[in-house]
């Protein structure tokens, strides 16, 4: 399967090359190996990449050959697809999305029960794909069982039940800019904002005539110049931006500042803990190793517990499920991956949800009456720095092993979880070395109380990593 990235975070590659229709059809067919009972329902959705249309055809063909009953949500954000899948108690799902990857990429998120496939399940899929010949199946008469659905209205109606909706709409006079980047969020978030009572300007909503995206897909500062200028020049209260499937969120303040991804989740965490129901006696906030130290300090302020997992939504979902199995009615469990801005709130939606995060941020601004910059200024202050190194997949494991040895020889106390290495001083700084789940790169992420220290820690780790690579 060449340079295809095959992990629980998704099967991703360049559409038409590593990720072609023949392979996608086999992957969809092979998903049937994991579902042996009589419930053959599966849900399918896609983001707005043009290649998604062709991949959707291949997915539906493969699922039909595996005798699935298909619910097709067509263009649909990942959080909406996950919500309606769980609402309808559908066990299987495929989301066709390249998420935040460049437009020539696409991918498949394979879903089982309330989570994505684990490593052993992905191995079953991989082996089946390598061995199966679909020609014999195509000679049989196959009845296509496909139902087109629109889950957006039900998603929004349920979302509003987790807000102080009436008070929010009555008091709301926010001016908001939303930049969906022509992704699937354009079908949901502008509507959400209007129904919450915001004055909304939507930009970069459509693909250009040649099917080019109007900006870089990943919602980071360098791709959000249009949004930053629109908010600042138009004197808007806030700006929001999504990636292509709307599980990520970026926030622009009224002063034109593009906040780090952790900030939105930190504001939501602080607000929820400050306004917690008196019946709640115990709170668990689940996040990953790369998320900011801000969360530890907020949790300490309110007596909550932070649990950190390896990077990847799969791990957070597993941890939340395990906590829920042993939790009482007086326990609140929520969290998210700070690096994407989407919140995970199981009472509403058991997935990373950039749209729900938008709604909660609007609720916070309206009910507090504060500017976003004022709220951010009250949070604990940390600075982050990031570097990346491209790496061949077969070098990752030996590189991480050697890097850990080098760090320990330098006197660092290193924590290793899977292939992630983390070191630092609690509540002061950290450095994380993380082989990406979605790209053939290693990310070096640091955080400290000054920008200079964060940069120094990160660049020093990068230099050591480069030295180790040069010796391999």
Q: What is the 3-state secondary structure (H, E, C) of 368-425?
A: HCCCHHHHHHCCCCCEEEEEEEECCHHHHHHHHHHHHHHHHHCCCCCEEECCEEEEEE
Q: What is the CATH number of the domain that holds 303?
A: 3.40.120.10
Look at residue 166 in the predicted model and tell me its pLDDT.
93
Same domain, 464 and 432: yes
Give how many domains the chain has, as a whole number.
Answer: 4
pLDDT at 139 over 80: no
Tell me: the pLDDT tens digits for 17-27?
989 999 999 99
Same domain, 32 and 61: yes
Q: Is residue 280 part of a domain?
A: yes
Look at residue 142 in the predicted model and tell me its pLDDT.
67
pTM of the model: 0.93
Look at residue 341 in the predicted model and tell me its pLDDT.
83
pLDDT at 1 over 80: no
> Of the candidates 338, 361, 377, which is a domain's last residue?
377
Same domain, 17 and 144: yes
Q: Which residue has the tokens 């983001």?
A: 47
Same domain, 352 and 404: no
Same domain, 51 and 85: yes
> Of the candidates 105, 121, 152, which is a domain's last residue?
152
Same domain, 368 and 302: yes
Same domain, 144 and 9: yes
Structural domain boundaries, residue 310: 261-377
Annotated catalytic residue, options 51, 61, 99, 292: 99
Look at residue 452 in the predicted model and tell me its pLDDT.
97
Same domain, 246 and 372: no
Tell me: the pLDDT tens digits for 369-388?
999 999 999 999 999 999 99
Q: Is residue 347 part of a domain?
A: yes
Mean pLDDT of 269-283: 94
Nearest residue to 99 (alpha-carbon basis) of 128, 77, 83, 121: 77
Same domain, 25 and 101: yes
**Whole-number percent of the chain with pLDDT over 90:** 81
Q: Is residue 90 part of a domain?
A: yes
Same domain, 86 and 116: yes
Q: Is 99 a catalytic residue?
A: yes
Same domain, 195 and 278: no
Q: Is residue 428 part of a domain?
A: yes
């Amino acid at each position: 399967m060449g340079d295809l990235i095959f992990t629980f975070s998704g099967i991703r590659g360049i559409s038409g090359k590593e990720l072609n229709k023949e392979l996608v059809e086999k992957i969809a067919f092979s998903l049937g190996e994991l579902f042996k009972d009589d419930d053959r329902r599966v849900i399918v959705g896609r983001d707005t990449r043009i290649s998604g249309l062709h991949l959707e055809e291949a997915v539906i063909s493969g699922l039909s050959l595996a005798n699935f009953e298909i619910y097709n949500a067509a263009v649909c954000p990942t959080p909406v697809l996950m919500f309606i899948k769980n609402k309808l108690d559908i066990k299987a799902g495929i989301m066709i999305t390249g998420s935040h990857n460049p437009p020539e990429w696409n991918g498949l998120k394979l879903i089982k029960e309330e989570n994505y496939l684990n490593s052993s399940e992905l191995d079953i899929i991989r082996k089946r794909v390598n061995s199966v010949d679909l020609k014999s199946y195509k000679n049989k008469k196959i009845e296509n069982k496909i139902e087109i659905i629109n889950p957006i209205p039900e998603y929004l109606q349920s979302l509003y039940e987790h807000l102080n909706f009436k008070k929010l709409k009555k008091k709301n006079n926010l001016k908001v800019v939303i930049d969906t980047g022509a992704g699937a969020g354009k079908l949901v978030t502008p509507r959400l904002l209007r129904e919450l009572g915001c004055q909304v300007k939507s930009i970069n909503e459509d693909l250009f005539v040649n099917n080019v995206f109007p900006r870089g897909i990943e919602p980071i500062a360098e791709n959000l110049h249009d949004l930053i200028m629109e908010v600042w020049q138009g004197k808007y209260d806030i700006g929001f931006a999504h990636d292509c499937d709307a599980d990520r969120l970026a926030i622009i303040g009224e002063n034109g500042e593009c906040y780090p991804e952790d900030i939105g989740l930190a504001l939501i965490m602080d607000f929820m803990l400050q306004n917690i129901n008196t019946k709640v006696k115990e709170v668990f906030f689940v996040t990953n190793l790369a998320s900011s130290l801000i969360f530890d300090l907020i949790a300490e302020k309110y007596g909550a517990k932070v649990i950190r997992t390896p990077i990847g939504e799969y791990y957070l979902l597993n941890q939340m499920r395990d906590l829920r199995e042993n939790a009482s009615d007086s326990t609140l469990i929520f969290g998210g991956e700070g690096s994407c801005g989407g919140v995970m709130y199981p009472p509403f939606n058991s997935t990373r949800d950039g749209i729900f995060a938008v709604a909660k941020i609007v609720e916070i601004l309206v009910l507090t009456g504060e500017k976003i910059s004022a709220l951010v200024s009250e949070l604990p202050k940390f600075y982050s720095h990031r570097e990346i190194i491209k790496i061949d997949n077969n070098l990752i494991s030996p590189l991480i092993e050697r890097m850990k040895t080098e760090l320990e020889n330098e006197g660092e106390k290193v924590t290793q979880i899977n292939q992630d290495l983390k070191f630092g001083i609690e509540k002061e700084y950290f450095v994380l070395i993380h082989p990406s789940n979605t790209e053939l790169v290693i990310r070096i992420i640091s955080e400290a109380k000054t920008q200079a220290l964060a940069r120094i820690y990160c660049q020093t780790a990068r230099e050591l990593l480069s030295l180790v690579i040069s010796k391999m």
